[in-house]
Structure 1
Amino acid sequence: MAGADKIEVVLVRHGETGTYDHDAGLTDRGEHQAYTRGTALARALAGRDRIVLRHAPTERARETAEALRAGLTDASGPPVAGTPQPDPAFSNFLIRCGETITEPTGAHALYQKIEQADAAADWITDFTRYLERQRLGGDPVGYWLRQPLPSFEPPVAVVLRFGRAIGRLIARGDPTTATVVATHSGCLRAVVAAACGEDPGEPDNGETVNVVAAPGQSAAMVHYRNRADRWFLPRAMPPWFGGETRSSVTTADGR
Protein backbone atom coordinates (compact mmCIF):
# COMPACT_ATOMS: atom_id res chain seq x y z
CA MET A 1 0.00 0.00 0.00
CA ALA A 2 2.72 2.47 0.99
CA GLY A 3 6.11 3.29 -0.47
CA ALA A 4 9.26 2.43 1.44
CA ASP A 5 9.54 5.99 2.80
CA LYS A 6 5.96 6.19 4.09
CA ILE A 7 4.60 5.51 7.56
CA GLU A 8 1.67 3.09 7.49
CA VAL A 9 -0.99 2.48 10.12
CA VAL A 10 -3.51 -0.29 9.40
CA LEU A 11 -6.80 -0.14 11.30
CA VAL A 12 -8.58 -3.51 11.39
CA ARG A 13 -12.14 -4.13 12.47
CA HIS A 14 -12.30 -6.92 15.05
CA GLY A 15 -13.52 -10.38 14.03
CA GLU A 16 -17.02 -11.66 14.60
CA THR A 17 -18.05 -11.79 18.25
CA GLY A 18 -20.75 -13.95 19.77
CA THR A 19 -22.69 -11.11 21.41
CA TYR A 20 -22.65 -7.38 22.07
CA ASP A 21 -24.53 -7.79 25.36
CA HIS A 22 -21.15 -7.77 27.16
CA ASP A 23 -17.47 -7.66 26.24
CA ALA A 24 -17.22 -11.11 24.69
CA GLY A 25 -14.40 -12.63 22.70
CA LEU A 26 -14.45 -13.93 19.14
CA THR A 27 -16.37 -16.80 17.65
CA ASP A 28 -14.47 -19.48 15.73
CA ARG A 29 -15.45 -17.66 12.57
CA GLY A 30 -14.19 -14.39 14.02
CA GLU A 31 -10.81 -15.94 14.84
CA HIS A 32 -10.59 -17.27 11.28
CA GLN A 33 -11.44 -13.83 9.86
CA ALA A 34 -8.67 -12.18 11.86
CA TYR A 35 -6.17 -14.97 11.12
CA THR A 36 -6.90 -14.71 7.39
CA ARG A 37 -6.44 -10.95 7.54
CA GLY A 38 -3.09 -11.54 9.23
CA THR A 39 -1.90 -13.76 6.37
CA ALA A 40 -3.02 -11.10 3.86
CA LEU A 41 -1.16 -8.40 5.79
CA ALA A 42 1.98 -10.55 5.70
CA ARG A 43 1.99 -10.06 1.92
CA ALA A 44 0.83 -6.44 1.95
CA LEU A 45 3.47 -5.38 4.50
CA ALA A 46 6.29 -7.57 3.20
CA GLY A 47 8.60 -4.58 2.71
CA ARG A 48 8.59 -3.61 6.39
CA ASP A 49 11.23 -4.70 8.87
CA ARG A 50 8.72 -5.29 11.65
CA ILE A 51 5.11 -4.81 12.72
CA VAL A 52 3.81 -3.35 15.97
CA LEU A 53 0.41 -4.70 16.99
CA ARG A 54 -1.98 -2.62 19.09
CA HIS A 55 -5.60 -3.14 20.02
CA ALA A 56 -8.53 -1.36 21.60
CA PRO A 57 -8.96 -2.41 25.25
CA THR A 58 -11.80 -4.87 24.67
CA GLU A 59 -11.68 -8.66 24.63
CA ARG A 60 -12.84 -8.94 21.00
CA ALA A 61 -10.14 -6.51 19.88
CA ARG A 62 -7.46 -8.28 21.96
CA GLU A 63 -8.34 -11.68 20.50
CA THR A 64 -8.36 -10.15 17.03
CA ALA A 65 -4.81 -8.83 17.56
CA GLU A 66 -3.66 -12.27 18.74
CA ALA A 67 -5.18 -13.95 15.66
CA LEU A 68 -3.64 -11.31 13.40
CA ARG A 69 -0.28 -12.08 14.96
CA ALA A 70 -0.75 -15.81 14.35
CA GLY A 71 -1.63 -15.19 10.69
CA LEU A 72 1.35 -12.88 10.19
CA THR A 73 3.70 -15.41 11.77
CA ASP A 74 2.39 -18.46 9.91
CA ALA A 75 2.57 -16.60 6.58
CA SER A 76 6.19 -15.56 7.30
CA GLY A 77 5.36 -11.89 7.30
CA PRO A 78 7.47 -9.19 8.93
CA PRO A 79 8.20 -10.13 12.56
CA VAL A 80 5.84 -8.77 15.19
CA ALA A 81 7.62 -6.68 17.81
CA GLY A 82 6.64 -8.03 21.22
CA THR A 83 3.09 -9.00 22.11
CA PRO A 84 0.00 -7.02 21.05
CA GLN A 85 -0.56 -4.16 23.47
CA PRO A 86 -3.78 -2.35 24.45
CA ASP A 87 -3.87 1.30 23.42
CA PRO A 88 -6.66 3.51 24.83
CA ALA A 89 -6.14 6.02 22.00
CA PHE A 90 -7.74 3.45 19.68
CA SER A 91 -10.66 2.58 21.98
CA ASN A 92 -14.18 2.17 20.72
CA PHE A 93 -16.41 5.22 21.10
CA LEU A 94 -17.22 5.75 24.77
CA ILE A 95 -20.43 6.26 26.71
CA ARG A 96 -20.87 8.09 30.00
CA CYS A 97 -23.06 5.86 32.18
CA GLY A 98 -23.44 7.92 35.32
CA GLU A 99 -20.02 7.78 36.99
CA THR A 100 -18.77 5.05 34.64
CA ILE A 101 -17.14 5.63 31.26
CA THR A 102 -17.29 2.55 29.06
CA GLU A 103 -17.81 1.38 25.47
CA PRO A 104 -21.11 0.03 24.08
CA THR A 105 -20.83 -3.56 25.35
CA GLY A 106 -19.95 -2.31 28.82
CA ALA A 107 -22.90 0.07 28.68
CA HIS A 108 -25.14 -2.81 27.62
CA ALA A 109 -24.03 -4.89 30.61
CA LEU A 110 -24.89 -1.98 32.95
CA TYR A 111 -28.17 -1.36 31.12
CA GLN A 112 -29.30 -4.95 31.67
CA LYS A 113 -28.96 -4.53 35.44
CA ILE A 114 -31.30 -1.54 35.59
CA GLU A 115 -35.03 -1.82 36.12
CA GLN A 116 -36.42 0.32 33.30
CA ALA A 117 -39.37 1.52 35.36
CA ASP A 118 -36.98 3.13 37.84
CA ALA A 119 -34.42 4.42 35.33
CA ALA A 120 -34.31 8.19 35.00
CA ALA A 121 -30.66 8.75 34.04
CA ASP A 122 -29.95 10.69 30.87
CA TRP A 123 -27.67 7.97 29.51
CA ILE A 124 -30.52 5.45 29.75
CA THR A 125 -32.56 7.50 27.29
CA ASP A 126 -29.64 7.81 24.89
CA PHE A 127 -28.70 4.15 25.12
CA THR A 128 -32.30 2.98 24.74
CA ARG A 129 -32.55 4.87 21.45
CA TYR A 130 -29.24 3.41 20.29
CA LEU A 131 -30.22 -0.11 21.34
CA GLU A 132 -33.60 0.06 19.59
CA ARG A 133 -31.82 0.32 16.22
CA GLN A 134 -29.80 -2.77 17.04
CA ARG A 135 -32.81 -4.79 18.20
CA LEU A 136 -34.75 -3.91 15.05
CA GLY A 137 -31.89 -5.03 12.82
CA GLY A 138 -31.00 -1.46 11.87
CA ASP A 139 -27.73 0.42 11.96
CA PRO A 140 -27.00 1.59 15.51
CA VAL A 141 -23.52 2.83 14.59
CA GLY A 142 -24.98 4.86 11.73
CA TYR A 143 -27.48 6.29 14.21
CA TRP A 144 -24.58 7.33 16.48
CA LEU A 145 -22.83 8.97 13.52
CA ARG A 146 -25.90 11.03 12.59
CA GLN A 147 -27.76 11.66 15.86
CA PRO A 148 -26.49 13.83 18.73
CA LEU A 149 -26.41 11.64 21.83
CA PRO A 150 -25.12 13.72 24.78
CA SER A 151 -24.00 10.69 26.78
CA PHE A 152 -21.98 9.28 23.87
CA GLU A 153 -18.53 10.37 22.78
CA PRO A 154 -19.31 12.24 19.52
CA PRO A 155 -17.90 11.00 16.20
CA VAL A 156 -15.76 14.12 15.77
CA ALA A 157 -14.09 13.44 19.13
CA VAL A 158 -13.26 9.90 17.98
CA VAL A 159 -11.80 11.30 14.75
CA LEU A 160 -9.67 13.76 16.73
CA ARG A 161 -8.52 11.03 19.11
CA PHE A 162 -7.56 8.62 16.32
CA GLY A 163 -6.05 11.37 14.19
CA ARG A 164 -3.80 12.63 16.97
CA ALA A 165 -2.68 9.08 17.84
CA ILE A 166 -1.88 8.33 14.20
CA GLY A 167 -0.16 11.70 13.88
CA ARG A 168 2.13 10.81 16.77
CA LEU A 169 3.07 7.53 15.08
CA ILE A 170 3.84 9.34 11.84
CA ALA A 171 5.84 12.03 13.64
CA ARG A 172 8.21 9.35 14.96
CA GLY A 173 9.32 8.90 11.37
CA ASP A 174 10.05 5.15 11.27
CA PRO A 175 8.99 3.90 7.83
CA THR A 176 10.55 0.49 8.50
CA THR A 177 7.81 -0.28 11.02
CA ALA A 178 4.10 -0.66 10.29
CA THR A 179 1.52 -0.41 13.04
CA VAL A 180 -1.55 -2.66 12.91
CA VAL A 181 -4.43 -1.79 15.25
CA ALA A 182 -7.42 -4.01 16.03
CA THR A 183 -10.33 -1.70 16.77
CA HIS A 184 -14.04 -1.13 16.15
CA SER A 185 -16.37 -0.42 13.26
CA GLY A 186 -17.75 2.92 14.49
CA CYS A 187 -14.25 4.35 14.75
CA LEU A 188 -13.36 3.15 11.26
CA ARG A 189 -16.52 4.68 9.84
CA ALA A 190 -15.89 8.00 11.57
CA VAL A 191 -12.30 8.18 10.26
CA VAL A 192 -13.29 7.31 6.69
CA ALA A 193 -16.21 9.76 6.80
CA ALA A 194 -13.84 12.51 7.96
CA ALA A 195 -11.53 11.78 5.03
CA CYS A 196 -14.07 11.27 2.24
CA GLY A 197 -17.03 13.35 3.44
CA GLU A 198 -19.61 10.58 3.80
CA ASP A 199 -20.30 7.53 5.91
CA PRO A 200 -19.15 4.43 4.00
CA GLY A 201 -21.41 2.07 5.93
CA GLU A 202 -20.48 -0.88 8.10
CA PRO A 203 -17.12 -2.54 7.34
CA ASP A 204 -16.90 -6.32 7.34
CA ASN A 205 -15.31 -8.09 10.26
CA GLY A 206 -11.57 -8.08 9.64
CA GLU A 207 -11.78 -5.32 7.03
CA THR A 208 -9.04 -2.68 7.01
CA VAL A 209 -8.55 1.05 6.67
CA ASN A 210 -4.97 2.02 5.76
CA VAL A 211 -3.61 5.43 6.75
CA VAL A 212 -0.37 6.38 5.00
CA ALA A 213 1.80 9.51 5.25
CA ALA A 214 5.38 10.64 4.93
CA PRO A 215 7.14 11.90 8.07
CA GLY A 216 6.61 15.62 8.54
CA GLN A 217 3.47 15.79 6.40
CA SER A 218 0.30 17.30 7.84
CA ALA A 219 -1.95 15.20 5.59
CA ALA A 220 -2.30 11.46 5.22
CA MET A 221 -3.99 9.30 2.60
CA VAL A 222 -6.82 7.12 3.84
CA HIS A 223 -7.31 3.98 1.75
CA TYR A 224 -10.58 2.12 2.09
CA ARG A 225 -11.99 -0.35 -0.41
CA ASN A 226 -11.66 1.22 -3.84
CA ARG A 227 -10.94 4.81 -2.90
CA ALA A 228 -8.20 6.96 -1.42
CA ASP A 229 -8.83 10.33 0.24
CA ARG A 230 -6.64 12.96 1.82
CA TRP A 231 -7.07 13.52 5.55
CA PHE A 232 -5.49 16.42 7.39
CA LEU A 233 -4.38 14.96 10.68
CA PRO A 234 -5.55 17.00 13.69
CA ARG A 235 -2.68 18.44 15.72
CA ALA A 236 -4.66 20.09 18.53
CA MET A 237 -8.12 19.98 20.02
CA PRO A 238 -10.45 22.74 18.76
CA PRO A 239 -11.60 25.35 21.28
CA TRP A 240 -15.03 23.82 21.82
CA PHE A 241 -13.32 20.76 23.34
CA GLY A 242 -10.87 22.83 25.36
CA GLY A 243 -13.25 24.52 27.80
CA GLU A 244 -12.59 28.11 26.66
CA THR A 245 -15.24 30.65 27.56
CA ARG A 246 -17.19 32.49 24.90
CA SER A 247 -15.24 35.69 25.62
CA SER A 248 -12.01 34.00 24.54
CA VAL A 249 -13.35 33.06 21.10
CA THR A 250 -13.73 35.67 18.37
CA THR A 251 -16.83 35.22 16.21
CA ALA A 252 -17.03 35.93 12.50
CA ASP A 253 -18.38 39.45 13.11
CA GLY A 254 -15.70 40.19 15.71
CA ARG A 255 -17.93 39.87 18.79
Structure 2
Amino acid sequence: MATPGGPEMRVVLLRHGETHGYFDDVGLTELGESQAREAGRALGKDLAATMGPGERVRLPHAPTARGTATAVTLREALVATLDEELGAGRGLVVGDLEPDAHFDSLQFLYDGEARESSGVAARRLALDPGEPTPDWALEFDRFDSDHGEDSKTGGPIDRWLISTTRYFEPPQIAVYRLWAGIQALAAQPEHGRVALVSSHSGPMRAFVAAAIGQDPGEPVNLEQVDVRLDGDSATVGFREHLMPVDLTTVIPPWIDPAYLRGRRKGPAGGS
Protein backbone atom coordinates (compact mmCIF):
# COMPACT_ATOMS: atom_id res chain seq x y z
CA MET A 1 0.00 0.00 0.00
CA ALA A 2 1.02 3.62 -0.41
CA THR A 3 3.03 5.34 2.27
CA PRO A 4 0.88 7.92 4.08
CA GLY A 5 1.99 11.47 4.70
CA GLY A 6 1.35 13.14 1.35
CA PRO A 7 -0.86 16.15 0.60
CA GLU A 8 -4.59 16.08 1.15
CA MET A 9 -6.51 13.87 -1.30
CA ARG A 10 -10.19 13.41 -2.03
CA VAL A 11 -11.47 10.14 -3.47
CA VAL A 12 -15.16 9.81 -4.34
CA LEU A 13 -16.36 6.22 -4.78
CA LEU A 14 -19.54 5.96 -6.87
CA ARG A 15 -21.64 2.90 -7.50
CA HIS A 16 -22.11 2.28 -11.24
CA GLY A 17 -25.39 3.16 -12.95
CA GLU A 18 -28.30 0.79 -13.35
CA THR A 19 -27.18 -2.18 -15.42
CA HIS A 20 -29.01 -4.67 -17.63
CA GLY A 21 -28.43 -7.45 -15.10
CA TYR A 22 -25.86 -9.42 -13.14
CA PHE A 23 -25.82 -12.66 -15.09
CA ASP A 24 -22.90 -11.48 -17.23
CA ASP A 25 -20.66 -8.43 -17.48
CA VAL A 26 -23.00 -6.05 -19.30
CA GLY A 27 -23.41 -2.29 -19.65
CA LEU A 28 -25.94 0.31 -18.51
CA THR A 29 -29.63 0.79 -19.17
CA GLU A 30 -30.93 4.15 -20.40
CA LEU A 31 -31.72 4.98 -16.78
CA GLY A 32 -28.18 4.02 -15.79
CA GLU A 33 -26.75 6.38 -18.41
CA SER A 34 -29.03 9.14 -17.12
CA GLN A 35 -27.90 8.50 -13.55
CA ALA A 36 -24.25 8.82 -14.59
CA ARG A 37 -24.93 12.07 -16.48
CA GLU A 38 -26.75 13.55 -13.49
CA ALA A 39 -23.90 12.63 -11.17
CA GLY A 40 -21.36 14.11 -13.58
CA ARG A 41 -23.25 17.40 -13.71
CA ALA A 42 -23.56 17.58 -9.90
CA LEU A 43 -19.89 16.77 -9.38
CA GLY A 44 -18.91 19.29 -12.05
CA LYS A 45 -20.70 22.08 -10.18
CA ASP A 46 -19.17 20.94 -6.89
CA LEU A 47 -15.62 20.84 -8.23
CA ALA A 48 -15.99 24.12 -10.10
CA ALA A 49 -16.82 25.78 -6.78
CA THR A 50 -14.15 24.06 -4.67
CA MET A 51 -11.06 23.59 -6.88
CA GLY A 52 -8.67 26.09 -8.40
CA PRO A 53 -7.89 26.64 -12.11
CA GLY A 54 -5.52 24.10 -13.57
CA GLU A 55 -6.04 21.48 -10.85
CA ARG A 56 -6.39 17.92 -12.09
CA VAL A 57 -9.23 15.43 -11.65
CA ARG A 58 -8.60 11.71 -12.07
CA LEU A 59 -11.16 9.17 -13.31
CA PRO A 60 -10.24 5.62 -12.25
CA HIS A 61 -12.91 2.99 -12.76
CA ALA A 62 -13.64 -0.68 -12.33
CA PRO A 63 -12.75 -2.51 -15.57
CA THR A 64 -16.22 -4.09 -15.85
CA ALA A 65 -18.54 -3.09 -18.69
CA ARG A 66 -20.89 -1.29 -16.29
CA GLY A 67 -18.02 0.41 -14.44
CA THR A 68 -16.47 1.57 -17.72
CA ALA A 69 -19.76 2.81 -19.19
CA THR A 70 -20.45 4.77 -16.00
CA ALA A 71 -17.03 6.42 -16.14
CA VAL A 72 -17.41 7.33 -19.83
CA THR A 73 -20.75 9.09 -19.31
CA LEU A 74 -19.68 10.62 -16.00
CA ARG A 75 -16.61 12.15 -17.66
CA GLU A 76 -18.60 13.58 -20.60
CA ALA A 77 -21.07 15.27 -18.26
CA LEU A 78 -18.30 16.46 -15.93
CA VAL A 79 -16.33 18.10 -18.74
CA ALA A 80 -19.43 19.77 -20.21
CA THR A 81 -20.47 21.13 -16.82
CA LEU A 82 -17.01 22.44 -15.98
CA ASP A 83 -16.91 24.24 -19.33
CA GLU A 84 -20.31 25.80 -18.58
CA GLU A 85 -19.32 26.83 -15.06
CA LEU A 86 -15.75 28.01 -15.67
CA GLY A 87 -15.42 28.58 -19.40
CA ALA A 88 -14.02 26.17 -21.99
CA GLY A 89 -10.27 25.66 -21.63
CA ARG A 90 -10.00 27.82 -18.49
CA GLY A 91 -11.01 25.42 -15.77
CA LEU A 92 -9.91 22.11 -14.33
CA VAL A 93 -7.91 19.45 -16.14
CA VAL A 94 -9.97 16.26 -16.42
CA GLY A 95 -7.79 13.21 -16.94
CA ASP A 96 -8.40 10.23 -19.17
CA LEU A 97 -10.22 7.16 -17.96
CA GLU A 98 -8.06 4.80 -15.88
CA PRO A 99 -9.16 1.16 -15.61
CA ASP A 100 -8.14 0.09 -12.11
CA ALA A 101 -8.70 -3.42 -10.75
CA HIS A 102 -8.52 -2.17 -7.16
CA PHE A 103 -12.07 -0.90 -7.60
CA ASP A 104 -13.47 -3.94 -9.38
CA SER A 105 -16.64 -5.77 -8.46
CA LEU A 106 -16.89 -8.69 -6.04
CA GLN A 107 -14.47 -11.45 -7.07
CA PHE A 108 -15.02 -15.21 -7.31
CA LEU A 109 -12.51 -18.06 -7.46
CA TYR A 110 -13.07 -19.78 -10.80
CA ASP A 111 -10.67 -22.10 -12.60
CA GLY A 112 -7.90 -21.17 -10.18
CA GLU A 113 -8.17 -17.43 -10.71
CA ALA A 114 -10.02 -14.54 -9.05
CA ARG A 115 -12.68 -13.48 -11.55
CA GLU A 116 -15.34 -10.77 -11.65
CA SER A 117 -18.42 -12.45 -10.23
CA SER A 118 -21.04 -11.44 -12.83
CA GLY A 119 -18.89 -13.01 -15.55
CA VAL A 120 -18.82 -16.22 -13.52
CA ALA A 121 -22.63 -16.09 -13.34
CA ALA A 122 -22.72 -16.50 -17.12
CA ARG A 123 -20.60 -19.64 -16.81
CA ARG A 124 -22.94 -20.95 -14.12
CA LEU A 125 -25.94 -20.53 -16.43
CA ALA A 126 -24.10 -22.37 -19.22
CA LEU A 127 -23.66 -25.58 -17.18
CA ASP A 128 -25.52 -28.65 -18.36
CA PRO A 129 -28.42 -29.20 -15.90
CA GLY A 130 -28.19 -32.93 -16.60
CA GLU A 131 -24.67 -33.12 -15.16
CA PRO A 132 -23.65 -33.05 -11.46
CA THR A 133 -23.41 -29.48 -10.15
CA PRO A 134 -19.85 -28.59 -9.06
CA ASP A 135 -19.21 -27.10 -5.61
CA TRP A 136 -18.47 -23.62 -6.95
CA ALA A 137 -21.83 -23.52 -8.74
CA LEU A 138 -23.69 -24.70 -5.64
CA GLU A 139 -22.09 -21.86 -3.68
CA PHE A 140 -23.02 -19.37 -6.40
CA ASP A 141 -26.62 -20.62 -6.21
CA ARG A 142 -26.72 -20.15 -2.43
CA PHE A 143 -25.29 -16.66 -2.78
CA ASP A 144 -27.59 -15.55 -5.57
CA SER A 145 -30.92 -17.01 -4.43
CA ASP A 146 -32.97 -13.83 -4.05
CA HIS A 147 -36.54 -15.03 -4.38
CA GLY A 148 -39.45 -16.35 -2.37
CA GLU A 149 -38.79 -16.90 1.32
CA ASP A 150 -35.06 -16.23 0.83
CA SER A 151 -35.78 -12.62 -0.14
CA LYS A 152 -36.94 -11.90 3.42
CA THR A 153 -33.36 -12.32 4.65
CA GLY A 154 -32.03 -9.69 2.24
CA GLY A 155 -30.28 -9.73 -1.10
CA PRO A 156 -27.08 -11.57 -2.05
CA ILE A 157 -24.73 -8.90 -0.69
CA ASP A 158 -26.55 -8.92 2.66
CA ARG A 159 -25.68 -12.61 2.97
CA TRP A 160 -22.14 -12.16 1.61
CA LEU A 161 -21.32 -9.69 4.39
CA ILE A 162 -22.09 -12.24 7.10
CA SER A 163 -21.56 -15.65 5.46
CA THR A 164 -18.58 -17.99 5.33
CA THR A 165 -17.79 -19.09 1.78
CA ARG A 166 -15.06 -20.97 -0.08
CA TYR A 167 -15.13 -19.25 -3.47
CA PHE A 168 -16.24 -15.65 -2.95
CA GLU A 169 -13.78 -12.93 -2.04
CA PRO A 170 -14.29 -12.23 1.70
CA PRO A 171 -15.63 -8.77 2.64
CA GLN A 172 -12.48 -7.95 4.62
CA ILE A 173 -10.29 -8.55 1.56
CA ALA A 174 -12.51 -6.25 -0.53
CA VAL A 175 -12.06 -3.54 2.12
CA TYR A 176 -8.28 -3.83 1.98
CA ARG A 177 -8.14 -3.72 -1.82
CA LEU A 178 -10.25 -0.54 -1.95
CA TRP A 179 -7.95 1.07 0.62
CA ALA A 180 -4.95 -0.11 -1.42
CA GLY A 181 -6.40 1.60 -4.50
CA ILE A 182 -7.20 4.79 -2.61
CA GLN A 183 -3.73 4.99 -1.08
CA ALA A 184 -2.13 4.30 -4.46
CA LEU A 185 -3.99 7.31 -5.87
CA ALA A 186 -2.86 9.43 -2.92
CA ALA A 187 0.74 8.45 -3.59
CA GLN A 188 0.60 10.28 -6.95
CA PRO A 189 -0.68 13.79 -6.11
CA GLU A 190 0.97 15.17 -9.22
CA HIS A 191 -1.68 13.36 -11.29
CA GLY A 192 -4.52 14.98 -9.36
CA ARG A 193 -5.69 15.37 -5.78
CA VAL A 194 -9.32 14.54 -6.61
CA ALA A 195 -10.37 11.16 -8.01
CA LEU A 196 -13.90 10.19 -9.06
CA VAL A 197 -14.02 6.40 -9.04
CA SER A 198 -16.76 4.36 -10.74
CA SER A 199 -16.95 1.20 -8.64
CA HIS A 200 -19.39 -1.42 -7.31
CA SER A 201 -21.85 -1.70 -4.45
CA GLY A 202 -20.54 -4.85 -2.73
CA PRO A 203 -16.98 -3.68 -2.06
CA MET A 204 -18.21 -0.14 -1.32
CA ARG A 205 -20.70 -1.45 1.22
CA ALA A 206 -18.05 -3.56 2.96
CA PHE A 207 -15.67 -0.58 2.92
CA VAL A 208 -18.17 1.67 4.69
CA ALA A 209 -19.23 -1.06 7.13
CA ALA A 210 -15.60 -1.53 8.19
CA ALA A 211 -15.19 2.22 8.72
CA ILE A 212 -18.37 2.92 10.69
CA GLY A 213 -18.78 -0.44 12.45
CA GLN A 214 -22.16 -1.39 10.98
CA ASP A 215 -23.72 -2.32 7.67
CA PRO A 216 -25.23 0.87 6.17
CA GLY A 217 -27.23 -0.99 3.53
CA GLU A 218 -26.78 -1.06 -0.20
CA PRO A 219 -25.65 2.12 -1.96
CA VAL A 220 -28.08 3.11 -4.71
CA ASN A 221 -26.79 3.65 -8.24
CA LEU A 222 -24.32 6.56 -8.36
CA GLU A 223 -24.48 7.05 -4.60
CA GLN A 224 -21.17 8.32 -3.23
CA VAL A 225 -18.70 7.41 -0.51
CA ASP A 226 -16.53 10.50 0.07
CA VAL A 227 -13.02 9.73 1.37
CA ARG A 228 -10.69 12.55 2.44
CA LEU A 229 -7.05 11.70 3.16
CA ASP A 230 -4.73 13.99 5.10
CA GLY A 231 -1.37 12.65 6.15
CA ASP A 232 -1.73 9.29 7.90
CA SER A 233 -5.47 9.57 8.51
CA ALA A 234 -8.69 9.84 6.57
CA THR A 235 -12.41 10.43 6.97
CA VAL A 236 -15.05 8.26 5.34
CA GLY A 237 -18.36 9.97 4.62
CA PHE A 238 -21.52 8.11 3.62
CA ARG A 239 -25.08 9.36 4.16
CA GLU A 240 -25.25 10.68 7.72
CA HIS A 241 -21.99 9.02 8.75
CA LEU A 242 -18.60 10.73 8.92
CA MET A 243 -15.93 8.51 10.48
CA PRO A 244 -12.21 9.19 11.08
CA VAL A 245 -10.00 6.27 10.04
CA ASP A 246 -6.27 5.60 10.45
CA LEU A 247 -4.70 4.64 7.13
CA THR A 248 -3.51 1.07 6.77
CA THR A 249 0.26 0.66 6.80
CA VAL A 250 0.47 -3.08 7.52
CA ILE A 251 -1.19 -5.77 5.39
CA PRO A 252 -2.34 -8.76 7.49
CA PRO A 253 -0.21 -11.86 6.83
CA TRP A 254 -3.24 -13.81 5.60
CA ILE A 255 -3.65 -11.46 2.60
CA ASP A 256 -1.42 -11.87 -0.47
CA PRO A 257 -0.07 -8.37 -1.29
CA ALA A 258 -0.03 -9.29 -4.99
CA TYR A 259 -3.81 -9.67 -4.86
CA LEU A 260 -4.21 -6.14 -3.51
CA ARG A 261 -2.02 -4.88 -6.36
CA GLY A 262 -4.59 -6.14 -8.86
CA ARG A 263 -3.38 -9.57 -9.94
CA ARG A 264 -6.82 -10.79 -10.95
CA LYS A 265 -8.69 -11.87 -14.07
CA GLY A 266 -11.76 -10.57 -15.84
CA PRO A 267 -14.91 -12.61 -16.58
CA ALA A 268 -14.44 -16.37 -16.68
CA GLY A 269 -13.19 -17.36 -20.06
CA GLY A 270 -11.42 -14.03 -20.65
CA SER A 271 -8.51 -12.11 -19.21
* TM-score normalised by L of structure 2: 0.81
Residue by residue, what CA displacement relative to the aligned partner does 1:32-51 show, whole Å, maximum 9, x if unpaired? 00110011111222233121
SS in 1 for 2:11: strand
Residue by residue, what CA displacement relative to the aligned partner does 1:148-194 show, whole Å, maximum 9, x if unpaired? 11101101001111112212222334595311110100011011001
Is 1:198 the counterpart of 2:217 in the alignment? no
Distance 1:146 1:134 in 2: 19
Distance 2:147 2:187 in 1: 39
- Tell which deviates more after alignment, 167-176 or 153-162: 167-176
Contact 1:98 / 1:121 at 8 angstroms: preserved in 2?
Answer: no
- Tell which deviates more after alignment, 181-190 or 120-129: 120-129
Is 1:72 the counterpart of 2:78 in the alignment? yes
Which residue in the other structure is 1:8 paired with? Answer: 10
Counterparts of 1:40-59 in structure 2 under 5 Å?
Answer: 40-46=42-48, 47-48=50-51, 49-59=55-65
Which residue in the other structure is 1:85 paired with? Answer: 98
Distance 2:72 2:93 in 1: 14
Contact 2:186 / 2:193 at 8 angstroms: preserved in 1?
Answer: no
Distance 2:237 2:159 in 1: 24
Which residue in the other structure is 1:250 paired with? Answer: none
Distance 2:113 2:130 in 1: 21
Is 1:105 the counterpart of 2:111 in the alignment? no
Contact 1:167 / 1:235 at 8 angstroms: preserved in 2?
Answer: no
SS in 1 for 2:141: helix
In the superposition, relative to structure 1, how do residues 40 and 128 fare at CA in structure 2: closer, same or farther (>3 Å)? Answer: same
Distance 2:249 2:139 in 1: 30
Offset of residue 80 of structure 1: 1.2
Which residue in the other structure is 2:164 paired with? Answer: 148
Which residue in the other structure is 1:126 paired with? Answer: 139
Distance 1:14 1:34 in 2: 8
In structure 2, stretches of 5+ residues that fail to align are 1-6, 84-91, 258-271
Offset of residue 90 of structure 1: 1.0
- Tell which deviates more after alignment, 171-180 or 21-30: 171-180
Is 1:221 the counterpart of 2:230 in the alignment? no
Offset of residue 224 of structure 1: 0.7
Residue by residue, what CA displacement relative to the aligned partner does 1:3-56 show, whole Å, maximum 9, x if unpaired? xx6210110100001111111100110000011001111122223312110111
Give the aligned residue type for 1:179.
A
Offset of residue 211 of structure 1: 0.7
Is 1:189 the counterpart of 2:195 in the alignment? no
Is 1:160 the counterpart of 2:176 in the alignment? yes
Counterparts of 1:16-55 in structure 2 under 5 Å?
Answer: 16-46=18-48, 47-48=50-51, 49-55=55-61
Which residue in the other structure is 1:252 paired with? Answer: none
Distance 1:98 1:176 in 2: 38
**Percent same amino acid among aligned pairs?**
36
Give the aligned residue type for 1:56.
A
Contact 1:164 / 1:233 at 8 angstroms: preserved in 2?
Answer: no
Which residue in the other structure is 2:225 paired with? Answer: 209
In structure 1, stretches of 5+ residues that fail to align are 244-255
* TM-score normalised by L of structure 1: 0.86
Which residue in the other structure is 1:251 paired with? Answer: none
Which residue in the other structure is 2:262 paired with? Answer: none
1:177 alignment partner, one of 177, 189, 193: 193
Contact 1:13 / 1:207 at 8 angstroms: preserved in 2?
Answer: yes
Q: Give the number of equivalent residue pairs.
A: 236
Offset of residue 116 of structure 1: 3.9
Distance 2:114 2:191 in 1: 35
Offset of residue 100 of structure 1: 4.5
Contact 2:43 / 2:78 at 8 angstroms: preserved in 1?
Answer: yes
Offset of residue 235 of structure 1: 2.4
Contact 1:65 / 1:182 at 8 angstroms: preserved in 2?
Answer: yes
RMSD: 2.0
Contact 1:221 / 1:229 at 8 angstroms: preserved in 2?
Answer: yes
Contact 2:62 / 2:99 at 8 angstroms: preserved in 1?
Answer: yes
